Amino acid sequence: MKAVLKLFLTFFKIGLFTFGGGYAMISQIKENVVEKNKWLTDDELVEIIAIAEATPGPIAINMATFVGYKRKGILGSVFATLGVVLPSFIIIFIISMFADAFKQNEYVKYAFSGIKAAVAFLILKTGINMLIKMKKNVFNIIAFSVVLILMIVFELFAVSFSAIYFILAGGILGILLFSVLNIGKKEEQSK
């Protein structure tokens, strides 16, 4: 039960101190789940991010559920999920009681502007850390380059593309690259 409580408290802290949604939580999840508690490796975190994004529901909740299940089964997933959800629920409940006062307060408006900048930094930092830890081989470099180019093209031409389709396209790209690279290896081996 101690491990389940630790899951709850860890994800409660993540939910309480992370603003900006699921992607902003990735940095906190990495710090607490990978670096501090060693519940996952960096590679497992990347896999969980892909799975959590591809499944229905908010990415942070999906990640908490998966980590909780991996650590302590169904009970762990329930408590990790409750931990990440409760802070938002409590904060929104309190804010709703004072909504009019918050809307009029200039300090609150500017505080949220500063928070948005910090959230953008956390998301960028997480992406850079994942890129640094990515294995530097031909396959990963080609896959990353293609995805980066597509992302830039989509942003330049304002193409709206669901994250799930982007992940599915990445999976298909991975299969195609693997097939092409393996064909070259098989041809070299047969000579």
What is the pLDDT averaged over residues 120-135?
81
pLDDT tens, residue by residue, 15-28: 888 766 667 788 88
pLDDT at residue 191 in the model: 60
pLDDT tens, residue by residue, 154-182: 888 888 877 778 778 888 888 888 888 77
Cα pseudo-dihedral 27, 32, 34, 35, rounded to 10: 100
What is the pTM assigned to this prediction? 0.61
What single DSSP character describes residue 40? S
- Quickly state the pLDDT bin for 188 (edges 50, 70, 90): low
What residues contact 15, with CB distance under 8 A and at least 6 apart? 25, 60, 83, 84, 85, 86, 87, 88
CA distance linking residue 167 with residue 32, whole number of Å: 25
User: Is residue 147 classed as helix, strand or coil in its secondary structure?
Assistant: helix
- The C-alpha R_g of the chain, in whole angstroms, comes to 20
Indicate if the pLDDT at residue 29 is higher than 90. Answer: no
Tokens representing 93?
Answer: 């409940």
Domain ranges of the chain: 2-134, 135-191
* H or E element, residue 97: helix 59-97
pLDDT at residue 103 in the model: 72
